Structure 1
Amino acid sequence: MDLTLGPVSLVVRDLEPMMDFYVKDTGLRMKRIDDHYVELHPSEESSEPLLILKHDPRAEKTPTDAAGLYHYAILLPSRKSLAAAYLSLGNAGVVFDGYADHLVSEALYLTDPEGNGIEIYADRPRSEWQFDEDGKVQMATQPLDIDSLLAEVSGIPKNGLNAFEDGAKIGHVHLKVTDIARSVDFYQQLLWMDVMSYWGSAAFLSVAGYHHHIGMNTWESLGGHALKKGWTGLEHFTVKIPQADVDDLAAKLADSPIVHIQDSRRLFVSDPDGIELLIRAI
């Protein structure tokens, strides 16, 4: 099955500091729909946002031990793009939480003003990925070779670099869940996903052999609270699949209590932890 991810929607309590961060610091392009709804695009030409900010000044901060968003991840089209993002964000004064070489990808990590985790990454060629005899992809967390990364943009003036470009997209989401086995089973059954890797109390799932479209862990949230409406952070994430698969899923979930909104092209579904995903046609 063909599957990609679309916009991540966040509930924010203080909209102006969030817009300052995402527009002034990271360089995303803002399309403000109204006073409470903002789209953030990688470029002026992009037709689909990376992020949607929904302003709710009464929202309460999501408890640390609750299910929700661990981080969302913006996939860049090349290693050169990742190097440009590193320099552009650094020049804007963005403080990185860390950097990592995951074998299948190289990544930068940061956090927005309301505590939402962000990964910005570029994949290594699939021909370089390693798999074990069970088909599980080999991933790790190793130091990122910053000097090697910056060699990709040597000689390019710093003021000519942008953190994002039109090829940037949501590559995966990493969720905080309260029960790994239950969540793995849910996403396998719902979206026909394969488990690509386990790291202790974390699991990584995908379709079509990608290293992961959805990650999940219980590092802080084991046995914790389900995600509730009215909390800051993740409102929903978007999964895009072919129309025929949307139709099959709609039939499969007919009258199911986990479906909240349904029409011919989309389903809003809640997972066992109250995390909502919008499933829509590509």
Structure 2
Amino acid sequence: MTQQIHPNTELGYVKLKVASLERSISFYRDFIGFQILKLGEKTAEFTTDGREPLLVIEEIPNAVVLPERSAAGLYHFAILLPTRKDLGAAVKHLIRSGIEIGQGDHLVSEAFYLQDPDQNGIEIYRDRPREGWKRDDQGHYVMGTEPVDVSGLLDEAKDQEWKGLPPETKIGHVHFHVRDLTLAKDFYHSVLGFDITGDYQNMSALFVSAGGYHHHIGLNLWAGRHAPFAPANAAGMAYYTILLPNEAELDSVLKKLESSGRIAEKKADAWFVKDPASGVDIRLTVQ
């Protein structure tokens, strides 16, 4: 029987590989609304609360931008805003900036989609109250893609001045193209212990989470079954962070990985293991 991951597990910061540090700093600061926390020669850390990073970018040499849906790896990372009014203010700012954005009302959330200068996918969203989320007979969350009430969203934020991302902003979820959904399901559910919250076979997608969230990790086959892993010099996600609530829970996850034959490697203050289905590294640490 699968040992569930702790229900208080959350996601921490993500790290992206980019072609131009200067260009990406401008995008994530001026358009998305992050603040610079720390700046290095080839790296930048961004924050919303002035203390903890939510996004790290690194300029890599000879970076290449892969054609859309041509490799396993990042589909998008999702920035979760605390209120609908905050989302309205962010969308109003994006519309004024002239950036192309997509949108979808997923019943559990309202979301907007865009890409950074290296075609890294970004979702900016807010959750509807959890008590309104519905499950089907199999226990999977009922989700869809309906048009967002954009006029109502903007009207709710009409008196709110955009001042960047609010301090309470989080990384809500990450979503990956994978080579094999069975492999992904085994790794995230059977090994790490995430709950399956959406097995959408008609869409070739699988959602998993901790603690009853609609999804912390989305997995899909939209780049094709057995899609190749992205090369090391491709723009995309270098790693994302899973935050365990304490050292005992971290140790439990490390033991489950070891029992499955996947050994995590200690680097500085965290442990790293590779997602075998997407090729993206996972940083494991405590909150």
TM-score by length of 2: 0.90
Deviation, 1:272, is 1.2
Please report how far the alpha carbon of residue 258 of structure 1 lies from its aligned counterpart in structure 2 after TM superposition.
Answer: 3.8
Q: Quote the offset at 1:31 in angstroms.
A: 2.8
Alpha-carbon distance in structure 2 between the residues aligned to 1:251 and 1:264 = 19
Q: For 2:204, give the aligned amino acid.
A: S
* CA deviation profile, 1:34-93 (whole Å, cap 9, x unmatched): 111101112xx3322221001112233345421110000000001111111111222233
> 1:192 Cα shift?
0.9
Mapped contact 1:247–1:264 kept (Cα < 8 A): no
Structure 2 distance, partners of 1:153, 1:255, is 50
Q: How does 1:1-282 map to 2 (within 5 A)?
A: 1=6, 2-42=8-48, 45-62=49-66, 64-96=69-101, 98-156=102-160, 160-199=161-200, 200-242=203-245, 243-254=247-258, 258-262=262-266, 266-273=270-277, 274-282=279-287
Shift of 1:240: 0.4
Read off the aligned partner of 1:103 and give its amino acid letter.
L
Task: Using the TM superposition, give the Cα deviation of residue 201 of structure 1 relative to its aligned residue in structure 2, in angstroms.
Answer: 0.5
> Contact 2:61 / 2:233 at 8 angstroms: preserved in 1?
no
- CA distance in 2 between counterparts of 1:50 and 1:155 reads 27
The one-letter amino acid of 1:6's match is: G
Return the offset for 1:121: 0.4
The answer as to whether partners of 1:259 and 1:269 remain within 8 angstroms in 2 is yes
Instruction: Give the unaligned 5+ runs of structure 2.
Output: 1-5
C-alpha separation in 1, matches of 2:164 and 2:41: 26
After TM superposition, give the deviation of residue 237 of structure 1 in Å. Answer: 0.6
**Secondary structure in 1 aligned to 2:53?**
coil
Cα distance in 1 for residues equivalent to 2:263 and 2:63: 24
> What is the CA–CA distance in structure 1 between the aligned matches of 2:94 and 2:54, rounded to whole Å?
17
**How big is each residue's C-alpha offset from its partner over 1:235-271, in whole Å with a ceiling of 9 and x where there is no partner?**
0011101221111222333497643522796320012
Partner secondary structure for residue 167 of structure 1: coil
Matched residue count = 276
Residues of 1 paired with 2:220 and 2:254: CA distance? 28
Is the CA contact (8 Å cut-off) linking 2:191 and 2:260 kept in structure 1?
no
Distance in 2 (alpha carbons) for counterparts of 1:60 and 1:153 = 38
Q: Is the 8 A contact 1:99 1:107 kept in 2?
A: yes
The percentage of aligned residue pairs carrying the same residue is 39
CA distance in structure 2 between the aligned counterparts of 1:276 and 1:211, rounded to whole angstroms: 22
TM-score (normalised: structure 1): 0.91
Matched AA of 1:209: G
Q: CA RMSD in A?
A: 1.9
